[in-house]
Structures are given as C-alpha cells and as structure tokens.
Amino acid sequence: MDSRPTISSDPRSIRTIVAASAIGTTIEWYDFLIYATAASLVLNKLFFPTEDPLVGKLISISTIGVGFFARPIGAIIISHFGDRMGRKAPLILTLVSMGLATTLIGLLPTYSSIGIAAPILLVACRLVQGLAVGGEWGGAVLIATEHSPPNKRGFYGSLVQIGFPLGMSLGTASFFALGYLDDQQFMSWGWRIPFVASAALVAIGTFIRLRIDETPDFKRVVREGKVARMPVWEAVLRHPKDILIGLGARITEISWIYVLTIFGLNYAVTTLALPRGLALGAIALGAAVELITIPLFGALSDRVGRRPIYLLGCVAAILLSFPVFWALATRDPAVVVLAFVIGMSVGHGIMYGVQASFLSEMFPSNLRYSGASLGYQIAAPIGGGLVPLAATAVVGFTGGATWPVSLLMILIASMTVVAVLVARETAPKLARLQPALSIVGDASPNTTSAML
C-alpha cells in the first residue's frame, strides 16, 4: 500500500485551509496574549492589591505563568485525541474553551468586590486558557502542513505562525485604542472590553474551523490502521531526542518574545516612565512587521533548509540582547519603537517562521500531533512563565539594571544553538526527492523523511 501522504493538488484549496487555520489561531493568541498585557498594566491593582507595588507586580506577572505551566498539560491531553481522532475536532474544542475563559475574565468582579475569590477565579480562567492554547498549536500547524506539498511546508506552516503576531497586534491595538480613556475609566471598565469582545471573535472562528476538512495524512493513518493507542507515550519512548531538540529549539524564541512584550512593556512603563501608549504602539508595530518576516523566513527555509534559518535567528537574538535594552533606556520615542520592532521581527520572527515545519517534520504522522506539541509546549512554562518573572525580579532588586537579563538571554540562545546543531535537517532539498525518500515510510527511525 502506498505510504506517501495524499497532498491536495488544488492551490486554492490549500490557501483556504491555511487561511482558516491561521484565523482561528489568531483568535486563540488574541485571547491568550491580552491577559499578559492586562497583567502588566492593570490586574495587579485590581486583583492583587498589596502595600508593596513590586510585590503586586510580581504576583500579577506570575499569574501569566499559570497559563504557561498549563500548556504542557493541555498538549498531553489534547494531542492524545489529535493523534487518535484527527486534527480538526481538537481545534474546535480549544477555540471554544479559550473564548469562554477569556470572556469570563472580562466579567469577573475585582478584589474590592468579592475579596480573595476574585484572584482565585482569575487564576482558574487563566488555567483554562493555558490548557486550550497547549493543544491548539499542534493541530493548527498540522492542518496546514499536512495539506501542503513537501517543498512548501515551511511557507504554509509559517502562515499559521502569523496568528501569533496578528493576535498580539489585535490585542495590543485594543488596549492602545483605549488610550483616550482616563485612568479611572480604564481601571473601572475600559480594560474589560478586549476580553468581552472575544465572544464575537470566537463565534466567527468556530464557524470557520467547522468548515476545515481533515488532513490527508491522518486519513491515511486511519485507512492503514496505524492509529497509535497511546500516542503521547509512544512519542516519548520512540522519539525522546526529537522532543528534547524541539524543547531546546523553542526555548530562545519563546523567552525572547515574552521578555520583550511582558517584561519589556512593564519595564518601559513603570521603570522608565514611558507613556503606556508608546510602548503598546511599539509592540503592535513590531507584531505587524512580523507578518512579513515570519512567512519570509518560512519560505526561505524551503530553499536552504530549516537549520540554517533557525541558527540565523539564534545569532540575531544573541546580537540584540544588549542593544534592545540600551535602546529602551534612551527614552527616545523613535529609538524605543525601533527597539521593539527589530527585537520582535528579527530576534523572534526568524525562528518563529521556521518552527511549524521544523518541529512537525521530526515525527511520523501517527505521532506527529503529540511529538511536535510536547517539544513546543514544554518550553512554555520556562521561557514564557519563569524567564519574564525572573527578569522583572532582577531589575526590581537591582534598581533598574538590565544587563543580567541580557546575559540570561544570551545563555538561553546558546542552548538553542546546541539543540539545532545536533538536530537533523528536516526539509527536502528539492521537491523531486519526495518519491525516492517517501518509500522509507512512517515507521522509519529517520525523522528527516518522516513527513515525506
């Protein structure tokens, strides 16, 4: 029986599938990321009031980490069903769960109204957000890459990745648009608007995702009777090295973007006393530029390979680790905007553009949802939860010094360099190599050809 993936031959069909997946991912990231913005600006005052502003700030930012620590759990639970039941059903579940949790956050009473129950409910909603986004990424990426021809997986996979900067742009812009409100209005009800608006976005996204067809690869797995009974466990047993490589590859990208957008936002507004609108506008612009750099480097990876592009992103992050914070410290509006834009679009965008294809190509189709999700999401609590919290604490305790944060980012990027260097190249050099390599089949231990 032919073990090669069935690839859609209609470019319009592929574009429709990728667009639908990217729209849903945009909504998911919008929901997840507006919490980070709110936590940096307002939640510490409304849900975690303390006499020490630094303590309240640290508690508030630490609740961002709750979502990140829940992501690996969500990946384990949801990817199990993604490899057993298909890619489509988990995407509906994650989107609806995320939307409900986000809308509830916008409706929660504050600490002054119900006391300790307020932060408990807030953390519970954040937990649901983390579980949902933990299972989202794998399914969204596979819907796109498993419908794509091998020589364009980098490009089509990167189009799903733009859901992150799109969601960030929408979320940041929504708070930026509230800048016309005075502080009392913003603290009273203005901050709730982006959360409640999620309900309408989720309804649109759910309708779109219901129209997506199941992937040819999963249909083939079912047809050939290769559905794994315990896919997460089998992925851990059969592909531990690839999962660790995925973790190592991801750690710099996620640390870099959240140090910039969580710690950097807080540092710019509270420590440097820069206008909130300036910092939010700079982040929104940086995310907008990523809409270009992410697909650009995803497409380049189809031509020169995943590893060279990923290493380029690591080098960029290392070189920018000190200059980004030096630029913020100038307090010059133009320089501050430039720091966020370059830091996000180059230091983050290069690596993020390659991730979808690089991580998913490491695993055979019957374990792909589980394997790719584990490597991707295990990095989340470290890079997205602990690193921004550590950066905030260090700067607070050292009176504003950022050099320890820069050194930490260089150390993390060095770990990613090692992970990528020991990884296999997963991109086929030429489309004509597909027929020859595909005879190896999914059972091959050579993960370079796992998706071929």
Other beta carbons less than 10 A from residue 272's beta carbon? 14
The secondary structure of 363-424 as a DSSP string is S-TTTHHHHHHHHHHHHIIIIIIIHHHHHHHHHHHTTS--HHHHHHHHHHHHHHHHHHHHSP
Distance CA 376, CA 354 (A): 13
The pLDDT assigned to 432 comes to 36
What are the tens digits of pLDDT across the range 250-273?
Answer: 999 999 998 988 888 888 888 888
The pLDDT assigned to 12 comes to 59
> For 11-449, which CATH class?
mainly alpha
The answer to whether the CB of 160 falls within 8 A of the CB of 21 is yes
Torsion, CA 343, CA 348, CA 353, CA 355, rounded to 10: 170
Reference 353, options 293, 312, 302; nearest CA is: 293
Higher pLDDT, 117 or 434: 117
Distance CA 84, CA 79 (A): 8
pLDDT of 445 above 50:
no
The answer to whether the CB of 94 falls within 8 A of the CB of 136 is yes
The pLDDT assigned to 390 comes to 84
The pLDDT assigned to 431 comes to 35
The pLDDT assigned to 330 comes to 94
pLDDT of 60 above 60:
yes
Mean pLDDT for the chain?
Answer: 84
The answer to whether the CB of 49 falls within 8 A of the CB of 43 is no
Residues 6+ apart with CB under 8 A from 85: none
Among the residue ranges 37-41, 234-238, 301-305, 385-389, the one predicted with the least confidence is 37-41
What are the tens digits of pLDDT across the range 164-177?
Answer: 888 888 887 888 78
Q: What is the mean pLDDT of residues 111-124?
A: 86
Domain regions of the chain by residue span: 11-449
